[in-house]
Structure 1
Amino acid sequence: MRVAFLTAPEGIEQVELTEPWQTVVDAGGEPVLVSTRPGRVQAFNHLDKADTFPVDATVADSTVDGFDGLVLPGGVANPDALRTDKGAVAFVKGFFDAGKPVAAICHAPWTLVEADVVRGRTLTSWPSLRTDIRNAGGTWVDEQVHICADGPNTLVTSRRPDDLKAFDSVFIDVFDA
């Protein structure tokens, strides 16, 4: 199982990257850090700078065919930057078009809204995204983790870092199926 973790160069909530990453490793999979620029990405612990992580591949050099699934970590700045990058948005949409599973946590559904893939789907997120999801044609629910299989692929979403244990357990089962 080869899983893309898509991030912007800065603003990733560190625990929302590292815990799902470790879950993929523990399942015998290969996590790949994909970003909009080469080099390193800057993670945060909420608003404080945390560690940096090396980029394995850029969006421009990656194809959906090279992966079995996609994880979108949150953090406020990360998905906000991704949704303004046409290549990143197309990469995300490509997973939906290909029927591959996607997992998104916290603010990450902002990128899904921009990719126009939430219409007709039920998902959860950080509560402040509720209106954005509804305006994009989705249904927002306040749940620790939500699985939506209403479409060509399965979408796993979660609200916040406190939900990571449940999120990791569910998305890895979906990706490994």
Structure 2
Amino acid sequence: MSEHSITVVPRQSSYPDNKIKAKEILDWLTSQDIVKPTLSDCILSSDNGYAISDGARQVTNIPDELPFDLITNGLEIITNRQVFHTGENGMEECICPNCKENIASEDWSFFNDWDEQKSNNLTCPLCNVATDIHKFTFSPDWGFSDLGFTFWNWSDLTDEFISEFRQKLGCDISIVYTHI
């Protein structure tokens, strides 16, 4: 069986006070009984996460498909800079905001400076212009931040929940669907 996840990622490379915001979001999710308040072995990581709880039924479009019967069913909170990619879903397009060209089939070394925290920009390998990574258009959506909330094996989140998440983060967000 394969695993999948949905990750909510702020469209900010460096989220201000990301660890404080991570705790605020966790407190909100536990107060709504969406996830359990204690860490457990419920995510695909050497770290622990927060297991799914009954309130999750209120924030997904298909509550009957929630992973209550799976070991991997929890929330992973990431607070280090990371490329939140789609896994096997790949990348169809990465459109440069300057030259409007699709650079997805180019050598992906243009991600290195961002990944190594040398810059918040990508330099297009075709037009050689450096632009904030969040100005590029990725299809399917990818995320780039030092804050992310990954829901392992959950069914699609409701628009209302995503909107509330966006409001609590106070910025635009990316929703990244990963398949492993």
**TM (normalized to structure 2)?**
0.28
- Specify which structure has the bigger relative contact order, considering alpha-carbon pairs within 8 angstroms and separated by 6 or more residues: 2
**Rg larger in structure:** 2
**TM (normalized to structure 1)?**
0.28
